[in-house]
Amino acid sequence: MYSDDLINSYPIFDTHAHYDDERFDSIRDELFHEMHQNGVCGIVSCGCDEASSKRALKMAEQNDFVYAAVGIHPSNIDSGTTIEQIRSLATHPKCVAIGEIGLDYYWVDDNKPQQIEIFERQILLAKELDLPILVHDRDAHGDTLEILKKYKPKGVVHCYSGSVEMAEEIIKLGMYIGVGGVVTFNNAKKLPDVVKIIPDELLLVETDCPYLAPVPYRGKLCHSGMIKYTAQKIAEIRGTTTQQILNLTAKNAKNLFLIK
């Protein structure tokens, strides 16, 4: 029932999703079942504070192919969630990353020092636990890059929106670059040039669902099956096939998150 034309595109590994969002409440179980039947082999659902991290872990407990990331999102630093709470959730066997964490100067930029402090403390936590991080960077490219260069964590810059030059620096650090549905939008200006230069072994695909559904579903409720269209566009840009991009990115995700 969720877009018949998505059937038989596999394997799809969605490295960044928010399936705890209430928009999925009435369809979640059926959607998970149907996606898994149709080639979605892995999903990382991310937390933004303690409550959503717990919800991500619960979905991961209930669905073999779903994994969780736990963390404090830069827009949620006033949620009351502490680093100690995240540390304790991160020991769960299905927690594969600390995220989503990072900097967001688009919504609020008068609390930069606090955002930076929470970001840095979570990077240190990830390093201590030997987990990768899922990085959110919105309108904060300079500070984000500086912090990544300082700590050299493992992980991915999700829904990449920076310049080619910044992508080159991230690649040098050995970090992955997550490409989402935005690459299919007509107004994605710099992203196609970035997609051209990502080495095979550092490319990941993602949805950030429920947001950012790719064309032809732009504006609709997004789900991981739609990654087929994101992969199609990436393949077009890189001069290869959709299948090759799906195979490659699923393998990369399993390498990053240490999933067999």
CB of 208 to Ni ion, least distance (A): 5
Residue 154: CB atoms within 10 Å? 16
Give me the residues paired with residue 157 across strands: 135, 177
Yes or no: say if 20 and 56 are a contact pair by the CB < 8 Å rule. Answer: yes
CB of 240 to Ni ion, least distance (A): 27
Residues in Cβ contact with 70 at an 8 Å cutoff, skipping those fewer than 6 apart: 47, 53, 56, 57, 86, 89, 90, 92, 95, 98, 99
The site string for Ni ion over 162-201 (x = CB under 5 A, - otherwise) reads: ----------------------------------------
Amino acid at residue number 25: D
CB of 26 to Ni ion, least distance (A): 21
Taking the least distance from each CB to Ni ion, the nearer of 100 and 137 is 100
- Does 206 engage in binding with Ni ion (CB under 5 A)? no
Which of 154, 245, 243, 128 is closest to 198 using CA atoms? 245
* CA dihedral of 148, 160, 116, 122, whole degrees rounded to 10: -70
- Does 49 engage in binding with Ni ion (CB under 5 A)? no
Taking the least distance from each CB to Ni ion, the nearer of 101 and 195 is 101
Taking the least distance from each CB to Ni ion, the nearer of 43 and 235 is 43
Radius of gyration of the chain (CA): 17
CB of 72 to Ni ion, least distance (A): 13
- Does 208 engage in binding with Ni ion (CB under 5 A)? yes
Stretch that binds Ni ion, among 166-174, 203-211, 214-222, 234-242 (CB under 5 A): 203-211
Stretch that binds Ni ion, among 81-89, 142-150, 207-215, 224-232 (CB under 5 A): 207-215
Q: Which residues bind Ni ion (CB under 5 A)?
A: 100, 208
